[in-house]
Amino acid sequence: MFHKSILAVALAASFSAVSALPASALDRRVRIVNDTNYTIVRFYGSNKGTDSWEEDILGNDVLRPNQSVQIDFDDGTGYCKFDFKAVFDDGDVLTANNINVCKIGTYTYN
């Protein structure tokens, strides 16, 4: 009986350690999918603590229809919530606010 109690405590402690990972250890990689008929020519992702869009993440690249790109949003700040801004080749601009990049693996424009 004593051994079972120790095992239960050890398992609970190891589970707590895994489930209580610090924010810096969370995966912030998100696959951005372009499921539209237009090319994304610029893409921005800024954490909630920033007042600007920062730089275009795509740089010289574009995201054509039916293409995707994986982006690591780990900017060293510890933030999980980001705003996204996609600029399309037809001039449309779509923004999405408060995207939790620590919880999602894919974000699709459609």
Contact 25, 45 (CB under 8 A): no
Q: Does the pLDDT value for residue 67 go beyond 90?
A: yes
Q: Does the pLDDT value for residue 24 go beyond 80?
A: no
> pLDDT > 70: what percent of the chain?
77
Confidence of residue 54 (pLDDT cuts 50, 70, 90): confident
Token representation of residue 43:
């893409």
Q: What is the reported pLDDT for 106?
A: 97
Across the chain, mean pLDDT equals 85
Q: What is the pTM of this model?
A: 0.76
Q: Domain 24-109 adopts which CATH fold?
A: Immunoglobulin-like (2.60.40)
Which has more confidence, 31 or 19? Answer: 31
Q: What distance in Å separates the CA atoms of residue 70 and residue 49, rounded to the nearest whole number? A: 22
Q: What distance in Å separates the CA atoms of residue 89 and residue 109, rounded to the nearest whole number? A: 14
Neighbours of 20 (CB within 10 A): 8
Domain ranges of the chain: 24-109
Q: Please provide the DSSP assignment of 11-36 as one string.
A: HHHHHHHHHT--GGGS--EEEEEE-S
Q: Does the pLDDT value for residue 56 go beyond 50?
A: yes
